[in-house]
């Protein structure tokens, strides 16, 4: 499968913002789902033509030095420098090197998880991936607490931790980082301009308090490669969400992939309201035309893969 590289910068106008609808996606069969190993292997092989998640999950230390200039992936005309702290926290080998797991859970942040009682089921997976440092402690009954890898968009520092303005917020942030003990903290530091300081604050805290996390910074080619893979499968995604990035990468390390908390719609299948995030007050307008994401389109794609048995989407309760 070849991809026209110019297509990566084109945007499709028709599919970018389909109206959120749950009718066509509500009928996700969950009882008679069986894993389609053949299809899942095929998807892994196809994805490997575009990226190698083991490599692209992080830039390695040997490839950069402090002071090197990086062009942001989405803001090509803006640059940033590799700071001393970032350099110190670059891994020397891939944090996912030789990792293979039978069953992985990827936990999205939709409010569909509330009252799901899915916590124990999520935690029973061999490898658990979470997004954007979403809180677990207060929600563990529904979302579990185990975390092997968690992402952190720089904007999270502002949105969930008030830009660390006070001692109290710095403490809260530090507590959250400490609770990750041993996990991979995946920081897309070079995607969009504007997050430089936030990343730097986080890295400083990690170093100052010798927080036991394994930091990873995605390669500059990851985003384009992921888009390229989905484009050749006719899924025209402007900017893949963290959740889709995690699924695409997890195919490399995981046999069976189970998705929880993926539901980008304001109503559940029964018509009851669903919060955008299970833990905050962010609204659905957030994903409207101003957002670079195309979550409903991604969701339809994941639903198709669910029906084919390549992955399993869990959108109901777990008891
Ligand atoms: N997600 C979903 N339905 C929602 C909210 C989130 O399916 N109502 C999934 C998406 O795949 C998303 C992931 O859960 O990527 C994590 O949620 P969030 O932290 O909001 O994702 P981001 O992609 O990082 O969004 P943003 O770029 O706005 O920070």
192-247 pLDDT per residue, tens: 999 999 999 999 999 999 999 999 999 999 999 999 999 999 999 989 999 999 99
Q: Please write the tens of the pLDDT for every residue from 90-119.
A: 999 999 999 999 999 999 999 999 999 999
Q: Considering Cα of 272, then 312, then 245, then 186, what sign does the dihedral take?
A: positive
Q: Whose CA is nearest to atom 29 of ligand 1?
A: 153
Which residues neighbour 252 within 8 Å (Cβ) at sequence distance 6 or greater?
44, 47, 48, 52, 53, 54, 96
- Given a cut of 70, whether residue 51 has pLDDT beyond it is yes
Asked if 258 and 102 count as a contact pair (C-beta separation under 8 A), the reply is no
Share of the chain above pLDDT 90, in %: 84
Helices (H) and strands (E) in the chain, counts: 11, 9
- Given a cut of 70, whether residue 13 has pLDDT beyond it is no
Which comes out higher in pLDDT, residue 143 or 14?
A: 143
DSSP state of 257: E
For residue 313, give the H/E element and its range. Answer: strand 312-314
- Given a cut of 50, whether residue 8 has pLDDT beyond it is no
Atom number, ligand 1, closest to the C-alpha of residue 241: 23
293 is catalytic: yes
Q: Please write the tens of the pLDDT for every residue from 233-282.
A: 999 998 999 999 999 999 999 999 999 999 999 999 999 999 999 999 99
Measured in angstroms, how far is the CA atom of residue 44 from the centroid of ligand 1? 23
Q: Whose CA is nearest to atom 12 of ligand 1?
A: 243
Q: What is residue 3's predicted lDDT score, i.e. its pLDDT?
A: 32
Q: What is residue 288's predicted lDDT score, i.e. its pLDDT?
A: 55
DSSP state of 163: G
Q: What is residue 290's predicted lDDT score, i.e. its pLDDT?
A: 56
ipTM: 0.97
Model pTM?
Answer: 0.91
Measured in angstroms, how far is the CA atom of residue 108 from the centroid of ligand 1? 6
Structure token pair of residue 149: 């890898």
SS3 287: helix
Which residue among 243, 284, 289, 301 has the greatest number of ligand 1 atoms within 8 angstroms of its CB, and so is best to mutate?
243
Q: Please write the tens of the pLDDT for every residue from 158-196.
A: 999 999 999 999 999 999 999 999 999 999 999 999 999
Mean local confidence (pLDDT), 33-39? 98
Measured in angstroms, how far is the CA atom of residue 63 from the centroid of ligand 1? 30
């Amino acid at each position: 499968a070849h991809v026209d590289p110019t297509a990566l910068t084109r945007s499709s106008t028709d599919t970018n913002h389909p109206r959120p609808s749950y009718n066509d996606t509500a009928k996700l069969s969950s009882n008679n789902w069986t894993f389609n190993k053949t299809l899942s292997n095929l998807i892994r092989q196809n994805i490997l033509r575009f990226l190698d998640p083991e490599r692209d999950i992080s830039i390695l230390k040997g490839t950069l030095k402090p002071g090197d200039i990086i062009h942001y992936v989405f803001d090509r005309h803006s640059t940033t420098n590799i700071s001393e702290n970032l350099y110190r926290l670059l891994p020397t080998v891939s944090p996912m090197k030789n990792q293979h797991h039978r069953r992985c859970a990827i936990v999205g942040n939709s409010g569909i998880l509330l009252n799901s009682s899915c916590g124990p089921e999520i935690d029973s997976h061999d490898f658990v991936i979470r997004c954007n440092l979403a809180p677990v402690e207060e929600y563990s009954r529904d979302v579990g607490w185990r975390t092997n890898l968690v992402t952190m968009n720089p904007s999270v520092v502002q949105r969930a931790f008030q830009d660390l303005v006070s001692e109290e917020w710095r403490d809260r942030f530090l507590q959250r980082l400490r609770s990750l003990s041993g996990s991979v903290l995946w920081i897309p530091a070079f995607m969009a301009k504007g997050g430089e300081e936030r990343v730097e604050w986080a890295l400083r805290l990690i170093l100052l308090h010798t927080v036991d996390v394994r930091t990873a910074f995605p390669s500059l080619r990851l985003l384009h490669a992921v888009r390229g893979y989905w484009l050749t499968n006719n899924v025209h995604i402007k900017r893949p969400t963290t959740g889709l990035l995690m699924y695409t990468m997890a195919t490399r390390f995981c046999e069976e992939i189970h998705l929880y908390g993926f539901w980008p719609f304001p109503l559940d299948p029964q018509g009851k309201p669903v919060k955008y995030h299970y833990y905050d007050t962010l609204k659905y307008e957030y994903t409207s035309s101003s957002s670079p994401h195309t979550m409903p389109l991604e969701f339809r794609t994941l639903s198709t893969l669910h029906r084919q048995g390549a992955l399993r989407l869990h959108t109901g309760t777990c008891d």
